[in-house]
Amino acid sequence: MQRSLGTVTTVVLGAILVGLLGGCGATTGASTTSAPSSTRASRGSTVATTPATSAGTTTTTTAVVAGDGLPPLAEPTAAQPLTILEIGDSLGQDLGFGLQDELGSDPFVKVVQDAVGDTGLSRPDYYDWPAHLAAELQQDDPQALIVFVGGNDGQSFDVNGEAAQPFTPLWTSTYTARVATIMNEATSAGARVLWVGMPVMQNPVLAHTMQQLNAIYQAQSALHKGVTYFPSWSVFTNAAGQYTQDIAGPDGEELVLRDPDGVHIAGAGYDRLAQALIPVMNFAWGTDFKPPSSTAS
């Protein structure tokens, strides 16, 4: 797709989106933040209690876990910020801009943008994401990985010389294995994963393709510990659940969410998506990201 053209439950994600998107805008440039301290406490974790017996007595031990069921990520400092690696296609590039807008000024966070346009998981002969991800995981040693890919993936590919058409059994099993490979690579390297589902598209046929891909991403996320799935669909729809090019901002101004091609994401849209991801990350990983838009005066 060229520019020219583990798991948090649905209930929890729905509640996060309802609370966030009701007043979500894209005002990041003129925002102000309070002066940071040298460390930041984590939040968004839950506590599991486990009874233990010793010498005839019963005591209770507690294990702190984040929303994805794993221990919260280590508390970052300015000297050792939390590294987030973000990968994907040209839509992933759009999200990378939003993440930089929302987290780029945070001294406790380092966002590594590694999305590459025209790529995906359907054509490893063109761009081998597992190989590139392995190199990035070794080079940057991220604590977290955000994946936003799929816009180019509704196409046929060869499997051992046999043509696999989109969403046939052979295609689906092969593509699903590729999704699982990305998840396994990241979690085996010790990184938490936030897999962002594809957004609604203006073209109904392409939108249906994205829904089919999202079903694969969501199902695989549920099977992999440390992987959280986020459905981006409602970030880009109107009150009726339909594709929308723009929305009214908190002050009544028009916020353009999508590019004229009906596929790519415009500035207000990628900031809106990044803003929607932050509370999900805080819940899933036990972090305490505070974007400029959340602390604006």
202-218, pLDDT tens digit by residue? 999 999 999 999 999 99
Write down the pLDDT at residue 57: 60
3-state helix, strand, coil in the chain (%, to 5): 35, 20, 45
* CA–CA dist 288, 257 (Å, integer): 26
Q: Which amino acid is located at 160 in the chain? A: N
Write down the pLDDT at residue 56: 58
For residue 254, pLDDT over 70 is answered with: yes
Q: Which tens digit of pLDDT belongs to each residue from 22-78?
A: 433 333 333 333 333 444 544 444 444 445 545 556 555 566 899 999 999 999 999
Write down the pLDDT at residue 8: 40
Q: Which amino acid is located at 23 in the chain? A: G
Six-digit token string for 182:
């990305």
Q: Taking the model in full, what pTM does it have? A: 0.82
Q: Which tens digit of pLDDT belongs to each residue from 90-136?
A: 999 999 999 999 999 999 999 999 999 999 999 999 999 999 999 99
Write down the pLDDT at residue 291: 72
The band of 2, judged by pLDDT with boundaries at 50, 70 and 90, is very low
Angle between helices 90-103 and 267-285 (to 10 degrees): 70
Write down the pLDDT at residue 58: 59
Six-digit token string for 180:
């699982």
Q: Is 106 exposed, middle or buried (0-12, 13-18, 19+ CB in 10 A)?
A: buried
Report the share of the chain in percent with pLDDT over 70: 77
Considering the domain delimited by 10-24+76-294, tell me its CATH architecture: 3-Layer(aba) Sandwich (3.40)
**Average pLDDT, rounded, for the chain:** 85
Q: Which tens digit of pLDDT belongs to each residue from 124-169?
A: 999 999 999 999 999 999 999 999 999 999 999 999 999 999 999 9
